[in-house]
Chains A and B, each alone.
Chain A
Amino acid sequence: MTVELGWFVPVVLSVISAATPLLLAATGELVTEKSGVLNLGIEGMMLVGAVTGFAVTLSTGNAALGILAAALAGAAMALAFAILTQVLLANQVATGLALAILGTGLSALIGKAYVGVALQPLPKLVLPILSGLPVIGPVLFHQDVLVYASFGILAGVSWFLNRTHAGLVLRAIGDSHEAAHAIGYHVVPIRFAAILFGGMTSGLAGAYMSLAYTPMWAENMTAGRGWIALALVVFATWRPARLLFGAYLFGGITILQLHVQGLGIAIPSQFLSMLPYLATILVLVVISRDAAKIRLNAPACLGRRFHASG
């Protein structure tokens, strides 16, 4: 038994660290998309968050400030997107792609001075009492603040979208901005807030990469995780619980395939590297194959321009 647990705990810890950045970024994007806005720029916002978080933590020695700065940096990137798409009515797909590219370049520029500099990993916050629980104690309650935040934010978003009036308004705007506008809701300001929230969590996801996952700054260090987060939102059919499941499934298979290789099981490594993508898409598509339910959850105005007339 102890042998099995000895294997189990470190694997689950690796899974959590692989899933956390995906979950953080995807949660924010879910809110943005629920309001009817498609922001493809997650990768760029994550990278700017990562470099800002790293730079501020390094220069102040305070990780809390670093995390805050990362969230603000992500939100600042999102603000540019919001102004372009909501005020100037630019195409959301094109603007989002531009944001991803801009973020990659901008983060590289800011990060020039920080390449090759090491940083202490984010401290683990051991929750009293809970961390003493057998098995799940060391796994779930011996984590850094951003892991707790990823669960907290997801729970908050789930509650907000499904249980609050404001959440209902946000969803209504995502489903029909004209109708919501006609009955007096302020479409543009609410979408602004949703976009900024998305930027904030992408910034946090970036901070997790550069402060906890691999505590360093290296150009393009997110290596495509922003795009995976984006895909997770769609395959989870915009439902927070499935997002959690999808992020952990993806992270889990990523880690497991490495273990399978280490055990010397003869499966081509290229296939194993592909497996997380394949399995996550397959499982999420299968559990979400009810077309009527997808229509119900998918924001009908996703990506469409809104211009208040009259």
Chain B
Amino acid sequence: MRRRTFNKLLGAGAATAALARAGLVRADEPYKAGFIYVGPVADFGFSHQHDVGRQAAQAALGDKLKTTYVESVKEGPDAERVIHELAAAGNGIIFTTSFGFMNPTIKVAKQFPKVYFEHCTGYKRATNVSTYNIRFYEGRYIQGVIAGKMSKSGVVGYVGSVPIPEVVMGMNSFIRGMHTVNPNGKIKLVWINEWYDPGKESDAAKALIDQGADIIAQHTDSAAPLQVAEERGVHGFGQASDMIKFAPKAQLTSSIDRWDDYYTQRIKDAMDGSWKSQDVWGGLGANMLKMAPYTNMPDDVAKAAQDAEDGIKSGKIVIFSGPINDQDGKPKVNDGQALSDAQILGMDWLAEGIEGTLPH
């Protein structure tokens, strides 16, 4: 701990010199960090935000750092090859940014014990493999509060991607937020079983609006559902990045993934040798999740949203604290109890107020 603070004080320049003496890098050569993305950098969503984080780290560390990225890498054997190449090319730290890169990351990490690996959204760690993720569900709670206040019909249309805990905890969090302001609020849920298909996403949003939803929420990657909301004159929320350009009148806010500080810090740690394997799951409080401006809503709604945001940050609001019932009304969390992180990460039930099915 003291060593880490000391190194930070010394600054990265001295750290590089120290590394140079240790023979890890030559003094005139920048430290190398590699990134692999599952989607194109230009997806304007998940992979795009990771690249924004990479650029922030690059900007913060200047000539001392050289970053490389490989985009649109398929999960599976291809990923292993790419990670292996990045490690062999002399990258000191490698960020693998999709759940499906988990096993390839662990495998390559064994072959390169001196290289640090950072795997996003996974749960397998090793002495040289850390995991990190964002508490995306915190943003959805705020969206729920806004939706509860803004919806006239009390029905939110939710475009679901793939039924996995990550998505389920998001919509459960949403309905928790919604019920704080409208206890009768409902979510109508449609799964499209894809992460990304703009056409299908927009079809799903249209179907939900046709069935009475006047707010569209999405856990898919394109701006298409929001665009439909704009066209049909209802409201919606952006995903992963600020999508206000696609829906200047419809977007209420957007949960923005923010990897900037995390990437900068971890690369710094790797450079000065203080890197340790860890598991980080940060949210609004850690500034890893940011809300886009609260727009297209009256002041009192924006204030309620801001209050929810502050409450989550300060820890006053515990999203999954009881009593919580599942969609059939059976108690899931008792009064006075709260779900642990492990329970949240394994969530396989829909909360009361969600109309839809969770296929198993």
Interface residues of A (CB under 8 A from B): 7, 10-11, 14, 17-18, 21, 108, 111-112, 115-118, 121, 209, 213-216, 218-225, 254-255, 258-259, 261-264, 266-270, 273
Contact = CB atoms under 8 A, between A and B. Distances in A.
Nearest to A268: B359
Contacts of A7: 210
Contact of B40 (A219, A255, A266): A219
A269 B198 contact: no
A14 B206 contact: yes
Interface stretch (B93-101, B219-227, B274-282): B219-227
A269 B191 contact: yes
Interface string B203-223: 110111111000000000011
A269 B204 contact: no
Interface string B285-319: 00000000000000000000000000000000000
Residue among B40, B43, B157, B203 with most chain A CB within 10 A: B203
Contacts of B222: 214, 216, 218, 221
Given A111-B42, A116-B245, A223-B194, A270 B359 contact: yes
5 contacts: A14-B203, A111-B42, A222-B199, A258-B207, A262-B189
Contacts of A225: 199
Contacts of A263: 211
A222 B197 CA distance: 7
A108 B199 contact: no
Given A118-B245, A273-B193, A216 B223 contact: yes
B224 A214 contact: yes
Contact of B357 (A112, A116, A254, A269): A269
B204 A258 contact: yes
B115 interface: no
Given A214-B227, A221-B198, A258-B204, A269 B163 contact: yes
A245 to B, nearest CB: 20
Interface residues of B, number: 43
B231 interface: yes
B207 A118 contact: no
B304 to A, nearest CB: 28
A218 B44 contact: yes
Given A214-B224, A259-B207, A269 B200 contact: no
A208 to B, nearest CB: 10
Contacts of B196: 218, 220, 223
Given A221-B199, A225-B199, A273-B192, 17 more contacts: A116-B241, A213-B202, A214-B202, A214-B224, A216-B224, A218-B196, A218-B198, A255-B203, A258-B190, A261-B356, A262-B189, A262-B211, A262-B356, A269-B190, A269-B193, A270-B193, A270-B359
B40 A254 contact: no
A10 B203 CA distance: 11
Residue among A118, A224, A225, A254 with most chain B CB within 10 A: A118
B135 to A, nearest CB: 25
A267 B358 CA distance: 10
A215 B227 contact: yes
B78 to A, nearest CB: 15
Interface of B: 39-40, 42-44, 48, 157, 163, 188-194, 196-204, 206-211, 222-224, 227, 231, 241, 245-247, 355-357, 359
A294 B199 CA distance: 32
Contacts of B40: 108, 219-220
Contacts of A255: 203, 206-207
Given A216-B227, A269-B191, A112 B199 contact: no
A264 B197 CA distance: 22
A104 B39 CA distance: 13
The 5 closest A-B pairs by CB, nearest first: A269-B191, A258-B207, A115-B42, A223-B197, A268-B359
B204 to A, nearest CB: 5
B185 to A, nearest CB: 16
A215 B199 CA distance: 10
B199 A18 contact: yes
Residue among A225, A255, A262 with most chain B CB within 10 A: A262
Contact of A112 (B42, B197, B224, B359): B42
Nearest to B196: A223
Contacts of B231: 121
Contacts of B247: 118
Nearest to A115: B42
Contacts of B357: 261, 264, 266-269
Nearest to A262: B211
B35 to A, nearest CB: 18
Given A10-B206, A216-B246, A270-B193, A108 B198 contact: no
Contact of B199 (A117, A223, A270): A223
A190 to B, nearest CB: 34
A273 B188 CA distance: 17
A219 B43 contact: yes
B200 A218 contact: no
A298 B356 CA distance: 44
B2 to A, nearest CB: 45
Nearest to A254: B203
B321 to A, nearest CB: 27
B44 A209 contact: no
